[in-house]
Structure 1
């Protein structure tokens, strides 16, 4: 009977989404940005160093890392100056070189959407892709010396223009990352990663996994790139639709912890189905509207079981004093304190997997 009821709910969800949003969701449908970084064709054709450069579409981050380790400092700077959009987005390239390349790209950009990213010239921009709505990754702290690293993966409505908007600060990747970094111990670094095409609004894109699948590939490659540059495996914090990305990436994702907050589901029935060696944590506050979204998956719509339910088997993150869907990283909350403990490697207080019925 329970399975039959869940199926009815799923059908209702599917019908509501398809018929209720058909008039506007198609206008908001997003095309996932995939493939190598902009400028790849010119990079492939460049023999300024007298050797073939690694193909951004085929070379693994580990291969990219080995290539750059074999170059002189001057040769690295030459490539960053000639191909800033490639080097700045090339997973496996040295962190400091990527900062330099992205600073050059932002300085040369005349798009007002990105002016805030280049305003003071001091930001550590680890990725900047101006195509489409724009994708960005920013680092808080020193990745080269960090003993503990965290990556924040945002949900819907995030792009280069909303990456660090002034309203709803703790619903932005930059705001979440800065708040977490302010609470972590010495020797930590936090990356705000808006490196995939997110859904816009609540429509078909948000209810399906196609954008998340593309995002999972990009997130996996990004963390592989950190590893190629000697950065420790991160704790990955996944907000809202970002938790769908993390769920699909989980079997391949190099991470110590997966922390989901305000999650609509991870496209898995339970922790075991994620096939990850990372510790899995979940937070959901009582006022989060995500709790009204049916945790089902039917005909490709919906994202499955609630990671915050006892049956899912994730470790509990206290979040009773967080407010709404974007309040988990707000200063003074139990959830932020728990996130900082996880980021520092200690784990959240009382963070044991919850038995059913707890």
Structure 2
């Protein structure tokens, strides 16, 4: 009854039953013509908020029966209107989620989580932690809400500014693994400073422009050391055949193969 009367509340209520959230968000989406595509049959929307630029999270696979679960956390320029865009698909949470699920042979359920307000471009918002702090609180609630609803502890795959979000959420989020790629930093000096029991992984391909971003944090600007640097302490993910800042989930890349291994509980040597 509450889902019927207040779909926007129940659809975003972390810890509520998964199927109930799907039903509530289907009703909420149908009320907003801008996002009619999200109401198409078969889509499983587990979070939706049309206010401002909009936030959304979509599930691929069955969260309640899958042995392994992953959550994709995106970086800048992602919102409810762009999270599943056709252009540059492997730079979107929807494209990364579908690619990861395919690479595991459908053995995982994957959430494309565009659940926070991301920076636009590479300006001041991207260089500071304010949006990441707000996003981290949301991510922690979302992941602990999944486990409260009977979903397995997820692996987090965090792209670009999304890795700042994951770094700030690490000590509170429910996560088996935290995988960062194309990261400007995690606002932590080392894996130990993240205060998490999750396995922490990092990938950076040789052609990623993020390497040109200074890995410093001073007076609130910058996000600290490079997680892919040896001294940080993260487990390394091979990314020799990935290309650019958004190519880590491209089919056939060594990074995607490694991500699939991590997503299914394996180890990468």
Q: Deviations over 1:259-318 (max 9, x none)?
A: 000000000111111111000000000000000000000000000000000011110100
**Cα shift at 1:187:** 4.2
The aligned residue for residue 188 of structure 2 is: 268
1:235 is aligned to 2:155: yes
1:204 is aligned to 2:114: no
1:105 is aligned to 2:25: no
- What is the rounded CA distance, in whole Å, between the counterparts of 1:250 and 1:223 in structure 2? 11
Q: Could you say what secondary structure the match of 1:149 adopts? A: strand
The aligned residue for residue 278 of structure 1 is: 198
RMSD: 0.9
- What is the rounded CA distance, in whole Å, between the counterparts of 1:79 and 1:232 in structure 2? 26
Q: Could you say what secondary structure the match of 2:47 adopts? A: strand
The aligned residue for residue 38 of structure 2 is: 117
1:253 is aligned to 2:161: no
Whichever of the two has the greater Rg, that structure is 1
1:291 is aligned to 2:211: yes
- What is the rounded CA distance, in whole Å, between the counterparts of 1:159 and 1:187 in structure 2? 27
1:165 is aligned to 2:88: no
- What is the rounded CA distance, in whole Å, between the counterparts of 1:174 and 1:198 in structure 2? 15
Q: Tell me the TM-score normalised to structure 1 length.
A: 0.74
The aligned residue for residue 56 of structure 2 is: 136
- What is the rounded CA distance, in whole Å, between the counterparts of 1:243 and 1:188 in structure 2? 21
Contact in 1 for aligned 2:200/2:234 (Cα 8 Å): yes
Q: Deviations over 1:208-243 (max 9, x none)?
A: 000000000000000111011111111000000000
Q: Could you say what secondary structure the match of 2:27 adopts? A: helix
Matches within 5 A, 1:344-355: 344-348=264-268, 350=269
**Cα shift at 1:79:** 1.4
- What is the rounded CA distance, in whole Å, between the counterparts of 1:344 and 1:217 in structure 2? 26
Contact in 2 for aligned 1:145/1:187 (Cα 8 Å): no
- What is the rounded CA distance, in whole Å, between the counterparts of 1:331 and 1:247 in structure 2? 27
1:335 is aligned to 2:255: yes
Contact in 2 for aligned 1:185/1:344 (Cα 8 Å): no
1:90 is aligned to 2:13: yes
Higher normalized helix content (fraction of residues): 1
Contact in 2 for aligned 1:103/1:121 (Cα 8 Å): no
Structure 1 runs of 4+ aligned residues shifted over 2 Å read: none
**Cα shift at 1:80:** 1.1
Q: Which sections of structure 2, spanning at least 5 residues, go unmatched?
A: none
Q: Deviations over 1:307-350 (max 9, x none)?
A: 000011110100011010000000000000000000000122x1
Q: Could you say what secondary structure the match of 1:345 adopts? A: coil
**Cα shift at 1:185:** 4.5
1:182 is aligned to 2:102: yes
Contact in 2 for aligned 1:92/1:229 (Cα 8 Å): yes
Matched residue pairs, number? Answer: 269
Q: Could you say what secondary structure the match of 2:3 adopts? A: helix
- What is the rounded CA distance, in whole Å, between the counterparts of 1:137 and 1:299 in structure 2? 33
The aligned residue for residue 143 of structure 2 is: 223
1:155 is aligned to 2:75: yes
